[in-house]
Amino acid sequence: MNLKQLDAFLWVARLGSFSKTAEKLFTTQPAISSRIANLEDELQVDLFTRDGGEVRLTATGRDLLGLAEETLASVQAMKDRAGVQADVSGLLRLGAAETIVQTWLPDLLAELQATYPALEVEISVDVTSNLRNDLVEHAVDVAFLMGPVSEYTVTNTPLGHYPLVWVMRPEPGVKGPVKMTLQDMRAFPILSFPRNTRPFFEINEALRSRGTKPFRLFPSSSLSAIQRMAERGLGIASIPRVFAANALADGRLIEVECDWHPTPLHYTASYIADPSRPILARVVEMARGIAREQAA
């Protein structure tokens, strides 16, 4: 029995696929099949059932999986205690919501480059619902999203909250904020987050419940596009205050002081712990520190 066999066992159990495990561990499917077969021979048990390409843990496999995870975690703990500094390399796949990309993600990438120069980082920018699916399906290693992710396998670390602000292009000669009620705002197109997000749901429900005038709600998956549309006078936008800070400071946008706002966006760094990859927890700690510094 060796660590490569245990690592293969863990990832086949998580991914339910020999081919996906081979891709994850940067090897071939026959190599993964061989590792599992040798481990089953040594333990004299079947760890998986194979049925038409579907791979599932047997009852014995479920019982032994926790021990494999503990063993891999203990090996890494021994290395850490002994002060073994691994040359961290390979591919790290990060998924991030646009608010994170436009605020502190560049600082995190710079720190990763300085600390782990051999590490290759791949970035995916998407809405939270897609990032959550990518994380659960192991398409990304760490996701910075509106969380937490309610899956028992996922570890969620809070990254702080981001208040939303109403903004619009100022009329000629107008400086500073303008006051409107939500009823007043129904006369303008409302630019918001995409449909499958909490802000869109809250804005839609608030507009429906406060008045009878028709309203126009335009969702977009791009905060940059929402802001640009607001700057061109195409409507009133609801975006994170930190995202709009520069446009508010230089007068491209003004704040609309309203009697109602969507709840602030709460972000987490979410990942599925992997005993063989302590780099994931380290990246999350880096991200939490940088997010706190910017919020201070």
Cβ atoms of 187 and 213 within 8 Å: the answer is yes
User: Tell me: the pLDDT tens digits for 138-151?
Assistant: 889 999 999 899 98
Same domain, 33 and 112: no
Same domain, 180 and 257: yes
Query: How would residue 71 be classed by pLDDT, with cut points 50, 70 and 90?
Result: confident
Length of the chain: 296
Same domain, 247 and 276: no
* Domain range enclosing 213: 164-263
Same domain, 171 and 242: yes
User: Tell me: the pLDDT tens digits for 125-184?
Assistant: 998 989 999 999 888 999 999 989 998 889 999 998 999 999 999 988 777 799 999 988
Task: Name residues whose C-beta falls within 8 Å of residue 239's C-beta, 6 or more positions apart in sequence.
Answer: 164, 165, 167, 223, 226, 227, 230
The answer, yes or no, to whether residue 85 has pLDDT greater than 60, is no
Percent of the chain scoring above 70 in pLDDT:
95
User: Tell me: the pLDDT tens digits for 7-29?
Assistant: 888 888 888 888 888 887 778 88
Same domain, 176 and 253: yes
- CATH number of domain containing 13: 1.10.10.10
The answer, yes or no, to whether residue 79 has pLDDT greater than 80, is no
Same domain, 57 and 128: no
Same domain, 255 and 177: yes
Supply the pLDDT for residue 116.
86
Query: How would residue 261 be classed by pLDDT, with cut points 50, 70 and 90?
Result: very high
Same domain, 169 and 258: yes
> Three-class SS of residue 180?
strand
In the numeric block, which tokens belong to residue 271?
């990942």
- CATH number of domain containing 282: 3.40.190.10
Section 37-58 average pLDDT: 87
Tell me how far apart the alpha carbons of residues 130 and 124 are, in angstroms, rounded to a whole number: 10
In the numeric block, which tokens belong to residue 2?
């060796």
Number of domains in the chain: 3
Supply the pLDDT for residue 89.
67
The answer, yes or no, to whether residue 296 has pLDDT greater than 60, is no
Q: Which helix (H) or strand (E) holds 228?
A: helix 223-231
User: Tell me: the pLDDT tens digits for 109-125?
Assistant: 999 988 888 888 999 99
Query: How would residue 255 be classed by pLDDT, with cut points 50, 70 and 90?
Result: very high
